[in-house]
A and B are shown apart, each in its own frame.
Chain A
């Protein structure tokens, strides 16, 4: 159960939008996290420095954010290790096979009016909602309103 946080969420979105816009304006690239990480693993060698620095910035931002807003972070032991491993593998493989995630397809692609990103976003949102319906309601036996 989570309380709506429309203002903080909008401001967070604006920060993501500003960061993505700056990345496009300066470096001419899409701020898609799975693509940037994947490129460190199997992208061109000459692109590794900026990709690595992006991830360093993301990690540094994570440290700052955790010090500033610890309540915004999930804890340990909320989800079983097996489930985390299966989910992580699915997200790792799926975002590479499907060429993007929430940032690359969901924000940058949709804003660009990309047909592929529109289809990908509709697909992963639907799949995620069905998964949550199954795990939270069907399997948990909780009553559905």
Chain B
């Protein structure tokens, strides 16, 4: 219950940050990605501002045995670079460049009903659900091995 309340509050602040930072405006995103054109570096400051706050808190938090509302931290531990990581990231990048939306801003932006973000976010969720269904089916047909 407490975890859900924190999650909701974090979601609200995260959304406000995305909008204030300019991530919910695809024209701004394209301007940031257009390094060979009229480049607008603003969105690098979103990333920089976020990391500047997050990195020191992370370093401090990890010295604690556990987070405040859970028994342990749930942090990724893998460090290998595999094809899935790079192929997935490349697909994501192409989609981001085509429409100017990444997942967070797409969901936040679709609250502006009638905007392009609605169609984009719907397709994104369909892609995630489709991949999940396909992976489940593939796993089943392989008899549990993957």
Taking a contact as CB atoms closer than 8 A, the residue among B21, B28, B84, B97 that contacts A2 in the complex is: B28
Asked whether A27 and B51 contact (CB < 8 A) given A14-B17, A19-B14, the answer is no
Contacts of B42 on A, CB cut-off 8 Å? 2, 4-6, 8-9
Does B119 contact A88, Cβ atoms closer than 8 Å? yes
Nearest residue (CB) in B for A92 is B127
Does A85 contact B11, Cβ atoms closer than 8 Å? no
Nearest residue (CB) in B for A105 is B89
Bound CA–CA A76/B88 (angstroms) = 28
Does A1 contact B38, Cβ atoms closer than 8 Å? yes
Nearest residue (CB) in B for A101 is B103
Bound CA–CA A124/B108 (angstroms) = 21
Which residue of B70, B117, B135 has the most chain A CB atoms within 10 A of its CB atom?
B117
Does B26 contact A23, Cβ atoms closer than 8 Å? no
Does A58 contact B98, Cβ atoms closer than 8 Å? no
Asked whether A94 and B91 contact (CB < 8 A) given A12-B19, A77-B116, A132-B30, the answer is yes
Number of A-B contacts (CB under 8 A): 512
**Which residues in window 63-97 of A have CB below 8 A to B?**
63-66, 68-70, 72-79, 81, 83-97
Nearest-neighbour CB distance to chain A for B32, whole angstroms, equals: 8
Which residue of A86, A125, A127 has the most chain B CB atoms within 10 A of its CB atom?
A127
Please tell me the size bucket of the interface on A.
35 or more
Does A83 contact B92, Cβ atoms closer than 8 Å? no
Nearest-neighbour CB distance to chain A for B83, whole angstroms, equals: 10
Does B94 contact A128, Cβ atoms closer than 8 Å? yes
Against B, the Cβ 8 Å flags (1 = close, 0 = not) of A29-56 are 1110110011001100000011111111
Taking a contact as CB atoms closer than 8 A, the residue among B73, B112, B125 that contacts A66 in the complex is: B112
Bound CA–CA A91/B120 (angstroms) = 9
Does B21 contact A8, Cβ atoms closer than 8 Å? yes
Contacts of B109 on A, CB cut-off 8 Å? 62, 73-74
Taking a contact as CB atoms closer than 8 A, the residue among A8, A79, A93, A108 that contacts B54 in the complex is: A108
Does A50 contact B106, Cβ atoms closer than 8 Å? no
Bound CA–CA A89/B92 (angstroms) = 9
Across the A-B interface, the 3 shortest Cβ-Cβ residue pairs = A12-B21, A98-B88, A57-B11
Q: A24-B61, A102-B104, A131-B98 are in contact. List 19 more A-B contacts (CB 8 A).
A: A17-B49, A17-B57, A18-B13, A19-B10, A19-B14, A20-B14, A21-B53, A22-B13, A23-B6, A49-B4, A58-B14, A58-B15, A66-B112, A83-B98, A88-B106, A92-B125, A98-B89, A101-B104, A110-B51
